[in-house]
Structure 1
Amino acid sequence: MSALQAAPATRRQIRRWRRYLADERAEASVYRTLSGRKEGTEHQILSALAEAEGRHENHWLDLLGPAAEPPPRTSLRTRIMVFLAAHFGTVFVLALMQRAEGRTPYDDDADATDQMAADERIHGEVLRGLAARGREQLSGSFRAAVFGANDGLVSNLALVLGIGATGVSTQTVLFTGVAGLLAGALSMGAGEYVSVRSQRELLQSTRPDPGAQAALPHLDLDANELALVYRARGMDPTAAQERAGAVLASQVLDADSPDAAGVDPHEAVGNAWSAALSSFCFFASGALIPVLPYLLGATGLVAIAVAAVLVGLALLGTGAVVGVLSGASPLKRALRQLAIGYGAAGATYLLGLAFGASLG
């Protein structure tokens, strides 16, 4: 379509174009802010994305003409994005921007060009690639943090509700909740340390023996046993022979598998102590929430109701964060987390009621 409309624009069109103009300007600002915190290739890519949003901005400026003044107000969602870009981690913001680009309204808007709609789709893939390495580096500690918080919330809520439903005293429920917090946090931290440590040791066992480097100059060039190393890693005989020849020529043992993605697998697993500490702290913080009403003096059904509401809000929050960082729907992940947590706690509460009734 041409840059200028043949027919006069309607008020609805002008409002929509002004909204698009404001969002394009704000998104360009997000990319410029992120690029200022990066160097090298990432800086160049983010700067290029900002330039692309500038081209889209010019399209709406041409359509609006004088109606572009005064400058339109940016939507609340985009203003939040700009704030997050300036104050929070790059991975989190990239994940949010990835979802925003993927929900482009240009696909169904006749006033936007096909090129602009295609740009927005491709921008989402560019952001997915930029966020991939950060997600890999974050996944170890993030997994421990999310699992720890969720387990603390659900297990201690279930414990408190189950014990409370039997009819025991408020003090007993409180002590049980605190004991569950400490025992669970220590168990989660120790278990996460062992798990991550074992994973790292397993990965380390696949690394080449440093002593193999010293054997390279003495290999028989005709037999070339080194080719067997690469065949064991999945290469076909011809490719293995070529790789081995290149390694012998350089005298540097190649440690990468043929399908290496350029990311150290140890980064995805995470650090054992970091994962253990994250798991301990987040389990404890999650497990504290169901106990808070009892610590503040609430009793009976009031304490149970307050604990359930607080835990529900926390579950919604952790689910939404998981959704954002994984590129999925925050609402769906939040509701899934809530349903699982309430389901487990509700079952335990019913069991406590039945157990209390049998004792009575």
Structure 2
Amino acid sequence: MTNYIPHEEEHRSHRSGWLRAAVMGANDGIVSTASLIIGVAAAGSSIESIMLAGVAGLVAGALSMAAGEYVSVSSQSDIERADLAIEKQSLEDNYELEVLELAKIYQERGVEFELAKKVARQLMKHDALGAHARDDIGISEISSAQPFSAAAYSATTFSLGAFLPLLMAWLVPLSWLTISVAISSVIFLALLGMLAAYVGGAPIKIGALRVAFWGAIAMGCTAAVGQLFEVVV
């Protein structure tokens, strides 16, 4: 008898929840804070006003990201709980029909129907609700909503991202502030895109370009608004 040697593969889908929240938070932190700093600087404001706007943007943005992520992911969690409640009641009322429903799913995936029924019965004997949650509804431990972790990741990474352009604005002379913050922020965004692509197993160059491109567009637009405000005033 051949001994079974366990084979484990490294999959990246389990990172999707926290990676999305972390990347979105850091990206928004860099883009929104850098854009705010550049827009205020382009309007001819003092360094004190620029830094005040940047710090206010960091605090407001981090709290907004946390609240937004918590509310949106909590809504997803509410939907999942409601679906599980419906499925639990259906298992109590129509157990045999639920067996056939699960067997039909496995049959559509290529399993012979009689074998599919046996598999469905064994899985449901072990964990009926878990089997239907996974294969019928599409809820798994990996994809299930985690409101608190999503909020924490977003707020923390937003703050870290926002700190980078703020630090650059504080270090450089006012005459170099706009160009320095813009260039450094594009570099930060490109590095963020590369890191996110690497962790997620995506092409690194594409990840860097798409994040840096849209960040540059946002900063360019706010700079134009700042210039327009200065001219109007």
Fold shared, TM-score > 0.5 on shorter chain:
yes
Q: Secondary structure at the match of 1:267?
A: coil
What TM-score, normalized by structure 1, do the two folds share? 0.53
What TM-score, normalized by structure 2, do the two folds share? 0.79
Alignment of 1:42-53 (within 5 A): 42=7
Which of 64, 67, 73 is the aligned partner of 1:190? 67
Q: CA 1:162–1:229 in 2, change beyond 3 Å: closer, same or farther?
A: same
- For the Cα contact (< 8 Å) 1:235–1:258, is it kept in 2? no
- For the Cα contact (< 8 Å) 1:150–1:315, is it kept in 2? yes
Residue 136 of structure 1: how far off its partner (Å): 2.6
Residue 198 of structure 1: how far off its partner (Å): 2.0
How many residue pairs get matched? 219
Query: Mind listing any 5+ residue stretches in structure 2 that lack a counterpart?
Result: none
Residue 147 of structure 1: how far off its partner (Å): 0.4
Q: Deviations 1:34-84 (Å, cap 9, x if unpaired)? A: xxxxxx724xx5xxxxxxxxxxxxxxxxxxxxxxxxxxxxxxxxxxxxxxx
> Hey, what does 1:355 align to over in structure 2?
229
Which of 27, 33, 46 is the aligned partner of 1:169? 46
Which of 288, 291, 310 is the aligned partner of 2:163? 288
Which of 49, 56, 62 is the aligned partner of 1:179? 56
Paired with 2:98 and 2:146, the residues of 1 have a C-alpha distance of: 29
- For the Cα contact (< 8 Å) 2:100–2:117, is it kept in 1? no
Q: Secondary structure at the match of 2:44?
A: coil
Which of 128, 131, 138 is the aligned partner of 2:15? 138
Q: Secondary structure at the match of 1:277?
A: helix
Q: CA 1:228–1:346 in 2, change beyond 3 Å: closer, same or farther?
A: same
Is 1:267 matched with 2:136?
no
Which of 190, 209, 213 is the aligned partner of 1:335? 209
Q: Secondary structure at the match of 1:167?
A: coil
Which of 219, 229, 236 is the aligned partner of 2:98? 229
Q: Secondary structure at the match of 2:202?
A: coil
Residue identity in the other structure for 2:159: A
Residue 193 of structure 1: how far off its partner (Å): 1.4
- For the Cα contact (< 8 Å) 2:99–2:120, is it kept in 1? no
> Hey, what does 2:6 align to over in structure 1?
41
Q: Secondary structure at the match of 2:128?
A: coil
**Rg comparison, structure with higher value:** 1
Q: CA 1:323–1:235 in 2, change beyond 3 Å: closer, same or farther?
A: same
Paired with 2:96 and 2:220, the residues of 1 have a C-alpha distance of: 60
- For the Cα contact (< 8 Å) 1:158–1:345, is it kept in 2? yes
Alignment RMSD (CA, Å): 3.3
Paired with 1:260 and 1:329, the residues of 2 have a C-alpha distance of: 30
Paired with 1:324 and 1:145, the residues of 2 have a C-alpha distance of: 14
> Hey, what does 2:82 align to over in structure 1?
205
More helix by share: 2
Higher relative contact order (CA 8 A, sep 6+): 2
Q: Deviations 1:303-360 (Å, cap 9, x if unpaired)? A: 222212321221111111122233322122112211111111011101210121111x
Q: CA 1:302–1:205 in 2, change beyond 3 Å: closer, same or farther?
A: same
Paired with 1:156 and 1:284, the residues of 2 have a C-alpha distance of: 10
Paired with 2:72 and 2:28, the residues of 1 have a C-alpha distance of: 16
- For the Cα contact (< 8 Å) 1:200–1:266, is it kept in 2? no
- For the Cα contact (< 8 Å) 2:34–2:165, is it kept in 1? yes
- For the Cα contact (< 8 Å) 1:247–1:253, is it kept in 2? no
Query: Mind listing any 5+ residue stretches in structure 1 that lack a counterpart?
Result: 1-39, 46-129, 220-224
